[in-house]
Amino acid sequence: MNPLKSTITVIKQFFQFIPRNLIPTLAKKHDVDKKARTFSPTSHVVSLMYSQLAHSISLNDICDALRNHNGVLTTLRESTPPSRNGLSHANKVRNADMAEELFWEVKAQLEKVHPQFGYRSRPGGKGYVGIPRRFKRTINAVDSTTIQLVANCMDWAKHRRQKAAAKMHLRLDLGTFLPRFAIVKSAKNNDAHEAAAVCADLTAGEITVFDKAYVDFVHLYDLTIRGVFWVSRGKDNMQYEVVRNLSEPKGDIIRDVEIKLKSAKTNENYGGLTLRLVEAWVEIKGEKKKMIFITNNFTWAASSVCELYKARWGIEVFFKEIKQTLQLADFMGYSENAIRWQVWSAMLVYLLLRYISYLSGWRGTFNRLFTAIRAVLWSTLDMMDVLKCCQGEGARMRAAPEQSYLPGFDALFFT
């Protein structure tokens, strides 16, 4: 069964989910329109989104492809193909805060139109499957991912003698599997320095889970007095004394105790409050390892503390999806501004792919969704019907050896 025809291309159908006046409005707000002459802000956004959807590996790759489809490109809100130098210059000098705000504005608009978007946009119509179902509160996972760069070209991002990297610090809502806050900057600063900014707008009653790299007791005290529950792993050198037992060992739970920090400075940083420590056996890659978790909640079951930390793995799944599917390996600019344009464009494409997944009832993997759309970008097909056909709702083709064309081999060889 062939997909239904459409009057517009797939790439135009994809781009239509961005509100029409949003890009010009943000361009004016961030003074981007003042630096745009023949290459409009809309053309800039379209070019970078295309580079993600097509997995372009260079500026020439983007420019040549868009120039070859110039006629179709003009139907995308009168966009024009860029020159190589024009696109490079735009990435370097146009304020990347516009790209960041564009992502959050589009996300807010999609969630306003479809409040269930996110909760039902992953395969199977659910959020992240690793969330303990008995928790009805918002569960946030906080972590960072390193984006390797070329050291000799990117002095702003050098964090070792011969290495350069940018970092994305992210807070992910595990219920919707969509970002709630993100920072993209040099990897020079450690994770604990960014913890306060990443968690700044958490509200009382929410839960946040992070690795021990984000443990900073000044920040943890701030979360506690704001009524935010948190779970993390305890650092190996953490010094403490046991105040009392909270529950008896059971199953994989070795101990569940209330503790007080022994270091005078650390204790002062945490306001003299006590913590809860849960030590348990945790299975990792088929082997059980002993781990220590700390939290400011004293009412959950000890097993729930372990399960909440285990749910943090969802953010690693998110990073894997965007880094292995989208174009976050080959960068088309050396400046910090250009890197931010490319990263936020990738995040926007990810967001729209998830939205399309929600609208179409997609049941396959995120990677297959991406490749299905990439294959028909310039075709005049109905995008939703393409995805319907890809999910097997129609005839499937069966490969046969005699259909292969291999140099030096005859079809009779296979008979």
pTM listed for this prediction: 0.86
Same domain, 289 and 356: no
pLDDT at 307 over 50: yes
pLDDT band at residue 405 using 50, 70 and 90 as cut-offs: very low
Same domain, 18 and 65: yes
- The answer to whether residue 199 sits within a structural domain is no
pLDDT band at residue 397 using 50, 70 and 90 as cut-offs: very low
pLDDT band at residue 1 using 50, 70 and 90 as cut-offs: low
- The answer to whether residue 193 sits within a structural domain is no
What is the per-residue pLDDT for 375? Answer: 93
Q: CA nearest 364: which of 338, 388, 340?
A: 388
Q: Which two tokens stand for residue 107?
A: 């996300």
**Percent of the chain's residues with pLDDT above 70:** 87
Across the chain, what does the average pLDDT equal?
A: 86
- The answer to whether residue 79 sits within a structural domain is yes
Range of the domain at 31: 10-99+334-390
- Would you tell me how many other CB atoms lie within 10 Å of the CB of residue 356? 20
What is the per-residue pLDDT for 126? Answer: 52
pLDDT at 186 over 60: yes
- The answer to whether residue 339 sits within a structural domain is yes
Q: Which of 286, 303, 320 is the last residue before a domain boundary?
A: 303
Same domain, 345 and 386: yes
- The answer to whether residue 261 sits within a structural domain is yes
Same domain, 14 and 92: yes
Q: Cα angle vertex 270, ends 268, 276, to 5°?
A: 130
- The answer to whether residue 351 sits within a structural domain is yes
pLDDT at 376 over 80: yes
pLDDT tens-digit series, residues 82-104 = 999 999 999 999 999 999 999 99
pLDDT band at residue 156 using 50, 70 and 90 as cut-offs: very low
pLDDT tens-digit series, residues 344-357 = 999 999 999 999 99
C-alpha torsion sign, points 150, 152, 155, 159:
positive
Same domain, 23 and 71: yes
Mean pLDDT, rounded, for 360-376: 92
End-to-end CA distance of the chain: 29
As a three-state string, the secondary structure of 241-297 is EEEEEEECCECCEEEEEEEEECCHHHHHHCCCCCEEEEEEEEEECCEEEEEEEEECC
- The answer to whether residue 64 sits within a structural domain is yes
Q: Which residues contact 76 (CB under 8 A, 6 or more apart)?
A: 11, 12, 15, 42, 46
What is the per-residue pLDDT for 155? Answer: 54
Q: Total domain count for the chain?
A: 2
- The answer to whether residue 90 sits within a structural domain is yes
Q: Residue 172 in contact with residue 178, Cβ under 8 Å?
A: yes
Q: Which residues contact 318 (CB under 8 A, 6 or more apart)?
A: 170, 172, 177
Our measurement of the distance from residue 140's CA atom to the centroid of its chain's CA atoms, rounded to an integer in Å, reads 13
Tokens 């793995």 sit on residue = 313
Our measurement of the distance from residue 385's CA atom to the centroid of its chain's CA atoms, rounded to an integer in Å, reads 27
Q: Which two tokens stand for residue 204?
A: 């009382």
Q: Which residues contact 266 (CB under 8 A, 6 or more apart)?
A: 217, 239
pLDDT at 300 over 70: yes
What is the per-residue pLDDT for 182? Answer: 92
What is the per-residue pLDDT for 122? Answer: 60
Q: Which residues contact 1 (CB under 8 A, 6 or more apart)?
A: 389, 393, 394, 395
Q: Which residues contact 204 (CB under 8 A, 6 or more apart)?
A: 226, 227, 228
What does the radius of gyration of the chain's CA atoms come to, in whole angstroms? 25
In sequence order, what are the beta bridge partners of 182? 170
Q: CA nearest 231: which of 301, 167, 182, 317?
A: 301
Mean pLDDT, rounded, for 157-162: 50
pLDDT at 410 over 50: no
